[in-house]
């Protein structure tokens, strides 16, 4: 079991997990040329330099006083790097590169925090030691690790939008050719699915993952595979972006005002299309999942005379089993821990893979590519489960986004850490955000 999935992990195991997560984010920042660290690839987000300091500031603000009783050595930076920006909404930031500290100052801040926290962790053998909040060090370390791993993914979204000449090219392995995708729908019988985590269990979860509760899901059918670029091209060719009836009013206004006419990862090239990977532009791979905003996914679903699945429907298709078998699976393929043969995840690739690349990852009902290769939008608003209690040390982590504007995504992408592939993990973004590695599949009821 991965350390970040258990409250029973040792302090040594969690310290190793934190070190591994640091290596992931350090490696990600290294792909940015030094003279590009003060750029802002996505208008709604901070400049890259903020995130270099933010990851350490988060760990420090979480642990230094609350757990270790250590005074801050740089309160100004602790505050400067404390909070990110929710993409889309709230206006665009107006700061200038000159408003930020030098990269040398930020690196020194990072180094001092790591040194101080590591010394304290080395001196503690029992991760059950309580903080001033009455919670264990184990809980806080799990929060620090997964927060950093989330940023290892969301930073990839941001750096993907950085001009290609502002990055240091890395090896991008394109997957082998697979047989043509045979699209079909799969019937999912009615049945129950348990959403969320039991609060009394040993598994770590974020506040929005609790409390476990069972939902009855009526029968429906779902696409075996996520919608591919080939299928989405048909939507574009049919005038999907110009057909008002396919779009909600707010989505149509957003699309029109922003001039949205195709997925953000695509680029027109004469009569064809290119796909913009992290480091180059390639001919559009037709069997890759299409990455779009939830607004675009809903419009496609209407055009196809279908709908996006609810969170419960998606989980029923992914983790449910036919009647007479065990109640559910921890992963679509069964009980085995995530491994490369089951899907495209855990930083295995910079790119998606053809949607039919991992037949061993199929669910009990035969639905493919549910975990990894791209998050999947649902129709469900991000909202609290019954019995929700915010983290006392981070009350706004989820609650600030229970606003009817954010929607649940399930599954994971190629850049999602294995520890966050657990059944109960919930991701969420606003419906007009195009830059997430998120696709979708459709259902019929």
Closest Cα partner for 158 from 54, 311, 23, 17?
54
Among 37-41, 128-132, 187-191, 229-233, whose mean pLDDT is lowest? 128-132
Q: Which residues contact 334 (CB under 8 A, 6 or more apart)?
A: none
Is 9's pLDDT higher than 90? no
Element (H, E) at 52: helix 48-63
Looking at the domain assignment, is residue 412 inside a domain?
yes
Q: Are 56 and 109 in contact (CB under 8 A)?
A: yes
Percent of the chain exceeding pLDDT 70 equals 93
Is 321's pLDDT higher than 50? yes
Q: Are residues 96 and 218 in the same domain?
A: no
Provide the pLDDT for residue 90.
58
The alpha carbon of residue 98 and the mean position of all alpha carbons in its chain are separated, in whole angstroms, by 31
Measured distance CA(260)–CA(433) in Å, rounded: 11
CATH number of residue 338's parent domain: 3.90.1580.10
Provide the pLDDT for residue 137.
82
Q: Are residues 156 and 197 in the same domain?
A: no
Q: How confident is the model at residue 422 (pLDDT cuts 50, 70, 90)?
A: very high
Provide the pLDDT for residue 139.
87
Q: Are residues 220 and 346 in the same domain?
A: yes
For residues 40-61, give the mean pLDDT: 95
Per-chain mean pLDDT for the chain:
92
Domain count, the chain: 2
Provide the pLDDT for residue 132.
60
Give per-residue pLDDT as tens, 366-401: 999 999 999 999 999 999 999 999 999 999 999 999
Looking at the domain assignment, is residue 175 inside a domain?
no
Looking at the domain assignment, is residue 234 inside a domain?
no
Domain range spanning residue 208? 185-228+300-444
Is 2's pLDDT higher than 50? no
Point out the domain boundary residue: 112, 137, 166: 166
For residues 414-440, give the mean pLDDT: 97
Q: Are residues 32 and 100 in the same domain?
A: yes
For residues 334-346, give the mean pLDDT: 96
Q: Supply the DSSP string of 319-331, one letter for each residue.
A: H---TTS-S--SB
Q: Are residues 91 and 192 in the same domain?
A: no
Q: Are 306 and 444 in contact (CB under 8 A)?
A: yes
The two three-digit tokens of residue 233, written as one number: 């091209």
For residues 131-156, give the mean pLDDT: 88
Q: How confident is the model at residue 67 (pLDDT cuts 50, 70, 90)?
A: confident
Q: Are residues 149 and 196 in the same domain?
A: no
Q: Are residues 204 and 90 in the same domain?
A: no
Residue 124: count other Cβ atoms within 10 Å of its Cβ.
15
Is 426's pLDDT higher than 50? yes
Point out the domain boundary residue: 119, 138, 166: 166
- Residue with the two structure tokens 């590519």: 369
Provide the pLDDT for residue 356.
96
Closest Cα partner for 408 from 252, 250, 294, 246?
294
Is 54's pLDDT higher than 70? yes
Looking at the domain assignment, is residue 290 inside a domain?
no
Among 54-58, 69-73, 273-277, 359-363, whose mean pLDDT is lowest? 69-73
Q: How confident is the model at residue 438 (pLDDT cuts 50, 70, 90)?
A: very high
Looking at the domain assignment, is residue 274 inside a domain?
no
Percent of the chain exceeding pLDDT 90 equals 82
Give per-residue pLDDT as tens, 398-409: 999 999 999 999
Measured distance CA(69)–CA(59) in Å, rounded: 14
Provide the pLDDT for residue 16.
92
CATH number of residue 144's parent domain: 1.20.120.450
Measured distance CA(43)–CA(32) in Å, rounded: 17
For residues 78-85, give the mean pLDDT: 84
């Amino acid at each position: 079991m991965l350390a970040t999935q258990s409250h029973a992990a040792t302090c040594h195991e969690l310290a190793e997990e934190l070190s591994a997560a640091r290596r992931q984010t350090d490696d990600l920042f290294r792909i940015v040329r030094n003279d590009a660290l003060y750029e802002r690839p996505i208008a709604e987000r901070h400049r890259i330099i903020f995130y270099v300091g933010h990851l350490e500031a988060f760990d420090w603000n979480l642990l230094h006083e609350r757990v270790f009783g250590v005074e801050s050595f740089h309160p100004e930076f602790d505050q400067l790097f404390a909070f990110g920006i929710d993409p889309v909404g709230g206006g665009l930031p107006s700061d200038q590169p000159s408003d930020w500290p030098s990269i040398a100052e930020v690196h020194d801040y990072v180094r001092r925090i790591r040194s101080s926290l590591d010394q304290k962790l080395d001196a503690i053998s029992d991760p059950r030691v309580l903080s001033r909040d009455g919670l264990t060090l184990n809980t806080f370390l799990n929060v620090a690790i997964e927060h950093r791993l989330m940023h290892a993914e969301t930073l990839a979204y941001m750096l993907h939008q950085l001009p290609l000449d502002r990055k240091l090219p890395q090896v991008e392995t394109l997957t082998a050719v697979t047989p043509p995708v045979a699209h079909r729908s799969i019937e999912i019988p009615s049945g129950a699915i348990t959403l969320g985590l039991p609060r009394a269990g040993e598994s770590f979860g974020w506040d929005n993952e609790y409390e476990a509760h069972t939902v009855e899901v009526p029968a429906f059918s779902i696409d075996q595979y996520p919608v591919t670029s080939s299928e989405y091209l048909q939507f574009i060719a049919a005038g999907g972006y110009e057909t008002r009836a396919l779009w909600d009013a707010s989505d149509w206004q957003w699309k029109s005002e922003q001039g949205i006419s195709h997925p953000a990862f695509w680029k027109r090239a004469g009569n064809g299309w290119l796909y913009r990977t992290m480091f180059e532009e390639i001919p559009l791979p037709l069997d890759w999942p299409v990455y779009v905003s939830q607004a675009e996914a809903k419009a496609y679903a209407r055009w196809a005379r279908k709908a996006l699945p609810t969170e419960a429907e998606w989980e029923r298709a992914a983790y449910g089993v036919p009647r007479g078998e065990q109640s559910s699976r921890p992963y679509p393929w069964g009980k085995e821990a995530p491994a490369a043969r089951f899907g495209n995840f855990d930083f295995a690739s910079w790119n998606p893979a053809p949607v039919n690349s991992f037949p061993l990852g199929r669910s009990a009902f035969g639905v493919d590519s549910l975990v990894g290769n791209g998050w999947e939008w649902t129709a469900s608003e991000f909202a609290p489960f019954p019995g929700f209690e915010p983290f006392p040390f981070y009350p706004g982590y989820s609650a600030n986004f229970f606003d009817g504007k954010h929607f649940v995504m399930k599954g994971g992408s190629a850049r999602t850490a294995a520890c966050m592939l657990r059944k109960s993990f919930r991701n969420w973004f606003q419906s007009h955000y195009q830059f997430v590695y998120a696709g979708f599949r459709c259902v019929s009821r």
